[in-house]
Structure 1
Amino acid sequence: MQLAFVLVEPKVPENVGAAARALCTMGFGHLWLVNSDLHTKPEAHWLAHGSDHLLDNARIFPDLAAVRNAVDLMIGTSAKPRHNRHDWHPPAALRQTLANKGDRVATAALVFGREDRGLANEELDACDLLTGFPMAVTYPSLNLAQSVMLYAWELSGLAADATPGPAPADARLGALRQRLERLLPALDAPDGSKLQQWALERLPLLTERDLGFVHTLCGNLERRLAGAADKPTPDNGPA
């Protein structure tokens, strides 16, 4: 699994440089930025201290939607659970959830919000999972670079730069999500919208073996729906 650390519209170039240094020391090599060029500022390089290559090779995205399209799994950082979702994980639990994915996730993104206001609600809604550090007090909150360092340390054993495994592209988590988004409305089940929401929220929590089962299930549903569409409509003729 390749794990990228994503900074959304950071405000302080020193934080970007310090984040790059934290990632390098923990063995991570993928720093992505959303709508920012702060990695090019001298102040960022002042704090990078031997991690300038991460700044020089940072991948830039125009918005978080572009990041969403580039990864199989997107994890948003949030100070507390949001929107009654049950997928908010402290870092140790997140580590285990990621480790359970095996080769079903080729690329995952861990997304950090702005220093002054974090991630917007709609940005958190776009994430598959949410994570945060339980803190003893609400304020002061963690600095952006501090947060990156803590996550990099906790997740450092996940072979961040490993080559994607042998799972076919259509069996990976991102492709499975897209298949379910197509299939679930076609089932025309009672309370279909709630079923779809439930399935898509729990999909990122599944283990590698469970994801393989969902892959097989999707294939069976696709064949069944295609067969039903190919059946000729009975012509009863005139009464």
Structure 2
Amino acid sequence: MRSQLFSQEYLERSAPEGFALQNSKMLKVTLQGGTVMARQGSMVAFQGDVRFDYQSAGGIGKVIKKAVTGEGLDVMSCTGSGDVFFGDAAADVHVLELDGSDGLSVNGANVLAFEPSLSWDIKMIGNAGMLGGGLFNTVFTGAGKVAITTKGTPVVLQVDAPTFVDTDAVVAWSAGLQTGIRSGGFKPGALIGRTSGEAFQLGFSGQGFVIVQPAENPKHGGSSGGGGGAAGGIGGMLGRLGG
């Protein structure tokens, strides 16, 4: 049989144990008796002897936080020997390696998979929690790799000056940055009946980076960024304040 599908571009790529991009939309994780944590429902294929164990939000403490904040992960452990492929609604996949010097704050809906050597928890975003519930993110610390998704090709902003990002477009940032909510400077009454993300921005200061995608996450559920986190929580709640 002949087809362009059988060209090297589409064939499975060989890789050592650990994380590797099969292509821009798909993550390949090679296991040799080890474990990887991943978003429930993100496995699209696997080869070998791999077992999957669903773990809700990852402990009773995280379950409670997820119920209260709307942020968090329904994760599964993938254990065994073989290759596992992950994807999420054809979103772009990016792999970050934490070295333990700084954490990563990321919208939980944008997390695809991560190594179990990383610790994670649901934390309030700076002083934004003073505005109300739902302003929380998932923070990873320690050393290891995490794969995240974006809708389209992102921009990575270096925070060497005060930086402001649409609350529904921000994906992740250096956990050491200072954060806060800033009004978009609209005139009084301009927000009535409107839910635009431009009404409020998430502000950053300090030294670090911010990852921004060229699309807004949905405010109520859905894959590739739906529900919870900076995007779902902040954008959804602030949108309700304006509408």
Structures share fold, TM-score greater than 0.5: no
TM-score, normalising length: structure 1: 0.27
**Structure 1 or 2: larger strand share?**
2
Q: What is the TM-score when the length of structure 2 is the normalising length?
A: 0.27
- Higher relative contact order (CA closer than 8 Å, sequence separation 6+): 1
Q: Which has the larger radius of gyration?
A: 1
